[in-house]
Structure formats: structure tokens, C-alpha cells
Structure 1
Amino acid sequence: MSKYLLNKFLYTVDRDPDLVESYRADPRGTVRWWESERANAILGCHSAERSSWLSFTAAEREALATHDHVKLVEPGAHPFLTLTLFIALYERDHPEPLSYQRAYADALGHHELPHPDYST
């Protein structure tokens, strides 16, 4: 598992409103596109600078494609990055203030301290 790649996906998609909407409407297609076009781009570098070895595992692709934040956080995707992206995806579907955030926390409530290792 690449915590770095999962966190890079969460970070870059969350900062682009068009990608957020694409990920909401077509998660599998967005994950497939992002992995082929953006996964190996080096953050902060010229667009021609690319690596060639990063890719998601099948389990990571499935968790991203199904918006399963529990399966993303458990192996080490950062919960803050996951939360901010998922707020952008789902908060509009929850009319009560903080109701999505509470649902997110409830789904992760089975974790005991210390939390999983979020280092990359």
C-alpha cells in the first residue's frame, strides 16, 4: 500500500472543484484517469517531471472507487485529507449542520487510541 499515493489523490482531488465533481459523478472513471495521468506527476515540479512506479493496489482502487473512507483510513490514508474531500462530496446531501461529519466519525468510531499510523 502506498499511503503517499492515497494521500496525494485525496489532496489533489480535494483542491480542484472540477475533480471533486468528477469524482462524485464517476468515481471509478476519475480514479482510473487520475492514476494514469496524475499519480506519477511530481508535486510542485514542471509537468514534464514524472516518476513511473506509483500505482494503487486493487484494494485501494476499490476503496477509492466506492468512496469507502473507512477502508482508506484503516490502512493509513490521513483522516483529515479523507474528511475534507468527503465533506466536499457529501455535505450537500446532509441538510443538518455537521451531520455528515458526525456520520464520518461514527463510521470510524471503532478505532481505539492510538490511531493507525498515518506517516508516509
Structure 2
Amino acid sequence: MSKYYVNKFLFTVDRDPDYLKRYTEDPRSFVVTWEQSIGPKLIGNEGEASTVHGFTTAERDALINHDYVALFEMGAHFFLNLTLFIGIYDEPYLTKSGPLSFQREFAAKLQHWRDKEYPSVET
């Protein structure tokens, strides 16, 4: 797994309202667009791009399907993973089930990790 590239995706999408909206509405198209034209750009340097990174099929599928459990299991940074999906799901869950509803679901879906060592987030 390219933890760096997945974490860069989580970081940049979570911090840009337009990216977050596009990712929420059409994840398949946005992930492909991000991987080809947004992700290669060096943060803070629009003039240079990297050609080194790309998603694996498993990473791409997890991002497209908003599969935050798979991303966690592959070693995506826990906080970046959580905050991105809070941005997507917090409001719908809030109106449905009250405060912290999505966070509780996120924790429940990761219960099988309770007695295991968390995946490393080293890049």
C-alpha cells in the first residue's frame, strides 16, 4: 500500500470543500481524477508533479466505496481516515441518530481490532 498517497488523498480531500463535495457525489470519477491530476501535484507547488505514486486496486476500490474499515486495515492514518468520513457522513447520521452517531458506527465497525495491534501508519 502507498500509505503516503492514500493519506495524501484523505488529507487533501478533507480540507477542500469542493473536493469533498465531488468525492461524496461521484467517488469513482473523483478518485480517478484525483489520482491522475490532483494527487501528483506537490502540495504548495503547482509547478511540479510527482510520477512516483499511484493507488493499488485495493486502495482505489476502498476509496471509491468509502470503505473506511478497509482503509484502516491497510494502514491509512486513523485520524485522517476518520475526519474525512465524518465530513461525508456526520450530518446524515446526526439527523438520523443524534450526535456522534457516525463516530460510534466507525468504532463499532472496527471492534474486531480491539485486542489487536493497530496497523502501522508509517510511510
Query: Normalization by structure 2: what TM-score?
Result: 0.93
In structure 2, the partner of 1:60 is: 59
Instruction: State the identity as a percent.
Output: 49
Return the alpha-carbon distance in structure 2 between the equivalents of residues 118 and 16 of structure 1. 23
Return the alpha-carbon distance in structure 2 between the equivalents of residues 59 and 75 of structure 1. 9
* Structure 2: 5+ residue stretches without partners: none
In structure 2, the partner of 1:20 is: 20
What pairs up with 1:106-117 in 2 under 5 angstroms?
106-111=108-113, 112-117=115-120
In structure 1, the partner of 2:39 is: 39
Return the alpha-carbon distance in structure 2 between the equivalents of residues 41 and 22 of structure 1. 18
Return the alpha-carbon distance in structure 2 between the equivalents of residues 52 and 115 of structure 1. 30
CA RMSD for the aligned pairs?
0.9
* Structure 1: 5+ residue stretches without partners: none
Q: How far is the alpha carbon of 1:79 from its aligned partner?
A: 1.1
| Moved >2 Å (runs of 4+) | none
| Larger helix proportion of the pair | 2
Query: Normalization by structure 1: what TM-score?
Result: 0.95
Tell whether 2:121 aligns with 1:118. Answer: yes
- SS of structure 1 residue aligned to 2:41: coil
Q: Look up the equivalent residue of 1:40 and give its one-letter code.
A: P
In structure 2, the partner of 1:99 is: 101
Return the alpha-carbon distance in structure 1 between the equivalents of residues 21 and 54 of structure 2. 22
- SS of structure 1 residue aligned to 2:81: helix
Return the alpha-carbon distance in structure 1 between the equivalents of residues 55 and 24 of structure 2. 19
Return the alpha-carbon distance in structure 2 between the equivalents of residues 62 and 83 of structure 1. 18
Q: Look up the equivalent residue of 2:14 and give its one-letter code.
A: D
| Larger strand proportion of the pair | 2
Tell whether 2:70 aligns with 1:71. Answer: yes
